[in-house]
Amino acid sequence: MTSKFLRVLLAGAVILTFSALAQTGSAATPSGAAATPASSSSAPATTTGPTTGTKVGTINIQEAIFGTNEGQRDMQALQKKFEPKQAELKGQNDELEALKKQLSTQGDKLNDDAAANLKKQIDGKQKTFDRAVQDAQEDFGTQQQDVATRILQKMAPMIVKYSQDNGFGIIVDTSKPWPQSNILWWGEAVDITKPVVEAYNVQSGVAAPAASGTAPKPAGPKAPATTAPKSTAPKSTETPKQ
């Protein structure tokens, strides 16, 4: 749930960020340039934007953002912040499971009123628990999105510059695997995720988190599988590459 929530919000952030860059590039062109007569041979040719190449490149925006040292650091801090909530949810779930076990093992020995009372108690705690899990996931997702948006705003110009410097005319996002996206296959040679992350780390000056072997995956507080669906973000590595 949280991963899907992040992808939807992140997709919107990507569109808004790169749209802003496109508008900035267009604003750099004098508005009167379009009115210049085509027959004026002495006037230099003008363009509405920077010159681009013809290659098609790919980037996994989600992996790029959370693969940076800054992304890893901030995600670790966010996960640490939510540890008390995780413990609280675990306590609620343990209490709920204990009541379910009691009903399962002693239900046939209880009178009708006692059994009905226990079932009502379980139903009430289940609804409270489910609501708490959903609220925690949404809260985590919102704060995670804040981290992603902040990093993306600084990363987007680097993606544009790297693409222009290396002859790319278009860059597509591979965060979602086929058939969830229209991209069926791509090769490592056109993927710019790693060099963009490396360039971002140099520019940000943020050191790699000491205890981080791999980039933390964007996933929030989760309920046990017996009470709520487990959220898992699809990985781009599910798509065959060279």
Q: pLDDT digit string (tens) for 66-117?
A: 999 999 999 999 999 999 999 999 999 999 999 999 999 988 888 989 999 9
Q: Is 41 part of a structural domain of the chain?
A: no
In this structure, is residue 28 part of a structural domain?
no
H or E element at residue 95: helix 83-106
What is the pLDDT at residue 222?
57
Residue 30: per-residue pLDDT = 41
- Looking at residue 196, what is its pLDDT? 97
- Give pLDDT < 50 ranges for the chain: 1-9, 22, 24, 26-48, 212-215, 225-242
Distance CA 114, CA 118 (A): 6
Residue 219 pLDDT: 53
Backbone phi and psi for residue 58, each to the nearest 5 degrees, phi listed first: -130, 155
172 domain-assigned: yes
Q: Is 185 contained in some domain? A: yes
For residues 24 and 156, the answer to whether their CB atoms sit within 8 Å is: no
Task: Quote the pLDDT of residue 238.
Answer: 44
Q: What would the two tokens of residue 21 be?
A: 């860059």
CA distances from 62 to 83, 88, 160, 183, 203 (A): 23, 29, 17, 16, 19
The predicted structure's pLDDT at residue 77: 96
The angle that helices 112-165 and 83-106 make with each other, rounded to 10 degrees, is: 150
Angle formed by the axes of helices 193-204 and 112-165, to 10°?
Answer: 90
Domain limits at 169? 2-20+55-238
Residue 192 lies in a domain: yes
Tokens at 49, concatenated: 């934007």
Q: Is residue 105 part of a domain?
A: yes
**Total of domains in the chain:** 1
In a domain, 39, yes or no: no
84 within domain boundaries: yes
